[in-house]
Amino acid sequence: MKRAIRLPPVRTALRLLPVGKKLGLIVLLFVFIVACLLVLANAQMEILSAVRAYVGGEGLWSKGEKDAVHHLARYAETRDEHDYRRYLAAIAVPLGDKQARLELDKSSPTLRLVQQGFVQGRNHPDDVDRMAMLFRRFRHVSYIAKAIAIWTAGDRYIATIAERGQALHAEIASGRPSQLRVGALLQEIGGLDERVTPLEDAFSRTLSKGARHAKRLLLDVTVLIAVLLVSIGVLLSWMMLRHIRAWEARYRHLLNTANDAITVASLETGIILDANRKTEELLGVSVSRILGRHQTELHPESEHDACRRLFDEEVRMGHATNSDLHLRRADGHLVPVEISAAVTELGGRAVVQSIFRDITERKRADHALRDSEERYRGLFEGANDLVYTHDLAGNFTSINRAAERITGYSAAEAVGMNLSKVVAPEHLELARDMVSRKVASGGPTVYELDVITNDGRRVPLEVSTRLMLREGKPVAVQGIARDIRERRRTEAERAELLAREQAARAEAELANRAKDEFLATLSHELRTPLSAILIWARLLRSGRLEAEAKTRALEVIERNTKLQARLIEDLLEVSRIIAGKLRLELAPVDLASTVESAIDAVRAAADAKEIALQCDLDHDVGPARGDRSRLQQIVWNLVANAIKFTPNGGQVDVRLARDAQGAVITVRDTGIGIQADFLPHIFERFRQADSTSTRVHGGLGLGLAIVRHLVELHGGTVAAASPGAGQGATFTVRLPISARSIDTGDAAWLSTLARRSGQPFVPLDGIHVLLVEDESDMRESVAMSLDLCGARVTAVGSAVAALEVLDRDPPDVILCDIGMPGEDGYTLVRRIRARGPEHGGETPMVALTAYARDEDRSHALEAGFQSHVPKPVEPSEIARVVAALCRSDPRVGRIAAARRR
């Protein structure tokens, strides 16, 4: 933001002006005032001339009106058209003035029409411009405005007279004029004429008053300007006199308060005419003893010739000059001084003004500086670090012996050499930038760069620079550079150790996170089917199930038992792979039939989701050497995975072919695809694209890891590809025609599963329970167990459906799973708790989940659940938790009792 420029006050500005400029200012002011008087006089003449023209025009206007009335009366008497034409000529005079007035009333009048109107009104053409000027510039001034108003009123009467004259002419020209009509018109015209007469007089009087007022005003202004002129002249003269006196006092004050001795001597004779008090102190004598002496007498005899040359040859030529001489004090002591002399004018004659500056301290400082330079030179040459200086362009001006030793350049070679000759090319821009930054900011700068020695070696240096100033301006850069080759080696070793330590720590943290995530997932995947098995088993033991429900219970138990067996088998498979105990039973295998068998095993799952399972198998691929069951497991895992992640109505293509390297099995689906950032980890153990509580698909993330290990045991490779999310995925297995047995293993771990004992049933008559569970088996088993306890159960599979039930049929208690697709249980409980009590916001809620860690329980309670029940769970425990919540909430108890009644 620019700073505003403050102008000095007028008095200060005038005081700062020299006398010559002040006189010029006074003359300029007088000329301006005279010019103003001339302009005012001319304006007065123009205005008065215009007023006289309007007064004269008013007489012509009035005469035209009277003549028009007279000729109309004669025309009525004589019926002679000649009289009517005279009337028209007379009435044209005021009508012309009216035309001019109407045109001048416009914002942009046409001067031709104005001139035409005034000339028609018999005004002199030379007066037209003045009349227009007066009208336009002063139309709103009181007198002119009043005159224009009178003029306008008169024009209205003239217009009426013109209309009546036209009517009279028409009546007479008809051939049978009515005497009554003619008499009435003449009488009306006469009345209008009588009304116009006072307006004519008022117009003249108003303009006359205005002219007299303008004349008085202009006279007053003229007198005021004349008085102002005299006052300013007197004031400026007084100010100039004060200025001269003040200047003399200021000159004497500055002369006597100066820190240097000052003398004024005649240019012609060299006699000293004036001296200040500092001269007394410097010479040790009073000013009275100095005045009248020749200026050379102030110096020792050995310097008289130099003093004469200074004043006679240089100062007389009009050049200001400096010189170092000595003054001789009264006690004979010599004082070194720097003399600055120049010719000036004082009192109308040429004088020499000399300034004598005592440079005793400067001389001492010069000696001290020379001593310091000698000491610096010793340090400079004896330092172990490189010490150098270069100008702002980067050209070296000096280097020490250490710089010669490290760079291989002698001082003679280095002086004049540019930074670009020794600094490594990749660091040259840094060096130049540091020089520029140094010049801009000043303070010390430390940075590192590499230099190229005379024999081509690279030497890393730590450089510290400072700016060298002369009279406050940067002139050069001084630098100290230290060889840091040994430090670089130490730092590199330290950095390598740190990197290894950080990598090990990151790997350990990653493994720890993977362990926690795997335990949570394993708990969920094992507890969920176990819960369904346990609940249905308890229900079967209770003996309260109908035959159809018993059949359904056995189906659920069988399906979830197979699921548990599959999970455990995968875990054992991975354990064998990690331990290196997995062996292949190698034999010739027909790949086409093996792939067909694997596809047949999953076809029912594909049909259930209405997925088109297409096969393109080359039966001429030939037999491969491998383990048939393991090869079938590879294909089964890939195809089952494709069906799992493909929505209903999708398509899965399986292809078996052969290329130059061997057999190629390709499984392509139109499913949800794979994110690009997850592709590199797709075959890692326990890794899942979605491991959150809101994931849609279950599993431990072991299937593809097992596929990779089995393929590698057969000497093949497996790869995954996907264009992105929602665009499907392609898995490609390449197998050699003959495989080899390979042992493989990694470190792994598994957790144990806790089991819970049964409890008796608890009556829940009259209680309405909302069950939110995405797993259909679990949902059905929990609903059945609560129903057998007497509760009314509404079971839904998503958070959205739960909110709809909450609005439509508010429950007494809500049992909610945590891990659900879309919105999980945490999101649902927060949305419910955000409601008011009247909309179910305080309904008791139980987290029924396979996430069973202590932190899972804390998270659930913090989110808003009243209780956390881990899966698998006894039917009686579910009923007991619901009953406990009803007892803790009296409102729920009262509602349930009312329902039972």
Residue 156 pLDDT: 78
Task: Give the span between the Cα atoms of 298 and 774, in whole angstroms.
Answer: 115
Task: Give the span between the Cα atoms of 84 and 709, in whole angstroms.
Answer: 132
CB 761 within 8 A of CB 879: yes
Q: Which helix (H) or strand (E) holds 659?
A: none
Residue 749 pLDDT: 24
Helix, strand, coil in percent for the chain, rounding step 5: 60, 15, 25
Residue 5 pLDDT: 45
Half-sphere exposure of 624 (CA within 13 A, CB side): 32
Residue 538 has which token pair? Answer: 């308890």
Backbone φ and ψ of 867, nearest 5°: -150, 155
Residue 532 has which token pair? Answer: 């369904």
Helix (H, G, I), strand (E, B) or coil at 320: coil
Smallest Cα–Cα separation from 812: which of 726, 688, 895?
895
Q: Which helix (H) or strand (E) holds 839?
A: none
Residue 594 pLDDT: 86
Task: Specify the amino acid at residue 118.
Answer: F
pLDDT digit string, tens, across residues 601-615:
788 888 888 999 999
Task: Specify the amino acid at residue 88.
Answer: L
Give how far the C-alpha of residue 633 lies from the chain's centroid of Cα atoms, to the nearest Å. 59
Residue listed under structure tokens 């797709």: 682
Task: Give the span between the Cα atoms of 779 and 824, in whole angstroms.
Answer: 16
Residue 756 pLDDT: 31
Task: Give the span between the Cα atoms of 692 and 517, in whole angstroms.
Answer: 9
Helix (H, G, I), strand (E, B) or coil at 225: helix
Residue 582 pLDDT: 65
Task: Give the span between the Cα atoms of 848 and 778, in whole angstroms.
Answer: 10
Task: Give the span between the Cα atoms of 649 and 670, in whole angstroms.
Answer: 10
Smallest Cα–Cα separation from 833: which of 825, 824, 842?
842
Maximum separation of any 2 CA atoms in the chain, in Å? 153
Task: Specify the amino acid at residue 772.
Answer: V
Task: Specify the amino acid at residue 884.
Answer: A
User: Can you give the three-state secondary structure of 778-810, one letter per residue?
Assistant: HHHHHHHHHHHCCCEEEEECCHHHHHHHHHHCC
Asked if omega into 875 is within 30° of 0 (cis), the reply is: no
CB 64 within 8 A of CB 90: yes
334-346 and 445-452 strand pairing: unpaired
CB 310 within 8 A of CB 352: no
* CA Rg value for the chain: 59
Task: Give the span between the Cα atoms of 198 and 183, in whole angstroms.
Answer: 24
pLDDT digit string, tens, across residues 193-229:
777 777 766 776 776 776 677 667 777 777 777 777 7
Alpha-carbon distance values, 164 to 99, 122, 167, 168, 180 (Å): 19, 24, 5, 6, 14
CB 773 within 8 A of CB 799: no
Residue 652 pLDDT: 93
Task: Specify the amino acid at residue 127.
Answer: D
For the chain, residues with pLDDT lower than 50 are: 1-5, 7, 693-694, 696, 698, 739-759
Alpha-carbon torsion, ordered 105, 109, 112, 117, to 10 deg: -10
Backbone φ and ψ of 254, nearest 5°: -65, -40
Alpha-carbon distance values, 79 to 64, 75, 113, 617, 655 (Å): 21, 5, 34, 132, 128
CB 615 within 8 A of CB 695: no
Other beta carbons within 10 Å of 306? 14
